[in-house]
Amino acid sequence: MLKIQEYKSIVFDCDGVILNSNKIKTRAFRVASFPFGYEASRSLENYHLKNGGISRYAKFDYFLKTIVPINSKKNKELYLKKMLKIYSEETEKGLLDSEITYGLHSLRTKTKDSSWSIVSGGDQDQLRSIFAKKEIMHLFNGGIFGSPNTKNEILKRELGRGSIKLPALFLGDTELDHRVSVSNGLDFIFVSAWTEFRSYEQYCIENSIKNISKVYELIA
């Protein structure tokens, strides 16, 4: 693994890495699905926690196909639209109030020659709006990307476009982050302070992954 300032591109997940927002998202899934009953809501929450990094669109689609199967395409679309609206409303204020990881600006100074990008499972339009309002959008000169495209699709696309250049480093907090970064040729560091991946320590040991608490540890 290279020194942090030697990477041409540094890619960050958002929730749990840049923002302390994982619990905000988990609560929003619970609220959006609660009209279907406690057990259904709990099942979606568990699915969400086991599949960190996957978009809200994919998770609600799974919910309406598998947990509470809706056979009518029209009804499924109506439920999906309503759940997405509730989820967006629940997360908006929480994201605006969420803590930004300590040391972000100092790390940007240290890696001034590197391109910075966000590759998230969060909604792309919401991400860009939140980052603009929190006045950190300018740090990510490589772009801020999210769903409905998957992380794998985004990485492949931006590598092809040249907005992400190798050697590159991905900073994430889920198993998915690790898998998509490695499959696309990026180095990976696990950021653990705010993760909801319960078995991350064992996963990092088994896969020889460097683990840091927060990104400020990369400044030294």
Domain CATH code at residue 144: 3.40.50.1000
Q: Which of 71, 97, 123 is the last residue of a domain?
A: 97
Q: How confident is the model at residue 53 (pLDDT cuts 50, 70, 90)?
A: confident
Q: Same structural domain for residues 169 and 153?
A: yes
Using the predicted structure, report yes or no on whether residue 116 has a pLDDT greater than 90.
Answer: yes
Cα of first residue to Cα of last residue in the chain, in angstroms, is 16
Residues 85 and 113 in one domain: no
Q: Which of 36, 62, 97 is the last residue of a domain?
A: 97
pTM over 0.85: yes
Give whole-number Cα distances, 166 to 55, 78, 158, 195, in Å: 25, 43, 11, 26
Question: Is the pLDDT score of 136 beyond 90?
Answer: yes
Q: How confident is the model at residue 64 (pLDDT cuts 50, 70, 90)?
A: very high
Question: How many distinct structural domains can be found in the chain?
Answer: 2
Q: Residue 32 pLDDT > 90, yes or no?
A: yes
Of 97, 115, 148, the domain-final residue: 97
Give the model's confidence band at 219: pLDDT under 50 very low, under 70 low, under 90 confident, else very high. very high
Phi and psi torsions of 43, nearest 5°:
-65, -40
pLDDT at 52 over 90: no
Strands in 187-191's sheet, in edge-to-edge order, are 143-147, 115-123, 9-12, 168-172, 187-191, 210-212
